[in-house]
Amino acid sequence: MEKERRSSKQYGSLEKTQVEGATQKSTEDVVSMADSTITIEDIEGELSKIERIRDILVRRESELRYMMDDIQLCKEITTLKTELQKLVSIPENDKSNGDRKREEELLQQINKLVETRDFLVDDVEFERLRESEEDRECVLHTVQNCSQDLALKR
């Protein structure tokens, strides 16, 4: 017994796909994956929206990473300052050479972390300026495209 092969009744976003045994296909028989009510402009608009959302999410991710780095640096600085404060509170006569050496090490480590945090803050500012410039370019591009579209429709 030979099983009859049946094709799917649905294809893409179309409700029904008609499959006929005819060997010749007219343009009416061509099946599109896209809903026929959607225009290219609609698709391009939707893609633009998705790209904009993606850009916003990438920016937010970057911002959150900077914030996490900043928080981590601040925690490390606070921990080192606390340890340094304990050493500084020891009277100078009671400090050992190890205490003095540790004070110097802590000051150097704190200084290095503060410099790292300064670089981080500079990077964040640079990113904000770059994003601001990208936004201006995007607005300019959109305005130019809209004005061209209006000119073509007239």
Q: pLDDT at position 47, please?
A: 92
Q: pLDDT tens-digit profile of 106-135?
A: 999 999 999 999 999 999 999 999 999 988
69 pLDDT more than 70: yes
Average confidence (pLDDT) over 55-73: 94
Inter-residue contact 73 to 113 (CB < 8 Å):
yes
Distance in angstroms (rounded) separating the CA atoms of residues 53 and 48: 9
CB atoms within 10 A of CB 83: 16
Residue scoring higher pLDDT (54 or 10): 54
- φ/ψ of 11, rounded to 5, equals -145, 120
Average confidence (pLDDT) over 53-59: 93
Q: pLDDT at position 135, please?
A: 86
Q: pLDDT at position 109, please?
A: 97
The per-residue pLDDT of the chain, averaged, comes to 81
Q: What is the model's pTM?
A: 0.62
- φ/ψ of 14, rounded to 5, equals -80, 145
Among 129, 114, 36, 122, smallest CA distance to 80 is for 114
Output the CA torsion 64→68→71→75 (10° steps): 170
Q: What is the DSSP string of 64-132?
A: HHHHHHHHHHHHHHHHHHHHHHHHHTS-GGG--HHHHHHHHHHHHHHHHHHHHHHHHHHHHHHHHHHHH
- Would you place residue 6 in the very low, low, confident or very high pLDDT band (cuts 50, 70, 90)? very low
For 111, the token pair is 């200084």
Residue scoring higher pLDDT (146 or 78): 78
Q: pLDDT at position 138, please?
A: 82
Q: pLDDT tens-digit profile of 7-37?
A: 444 444 444 444 444 445 455 555 456 556 7
136 pLDDT more than 60: yes
Distance in angstroms (rounded) separating the CA atoms of residues 111 and 80: 10
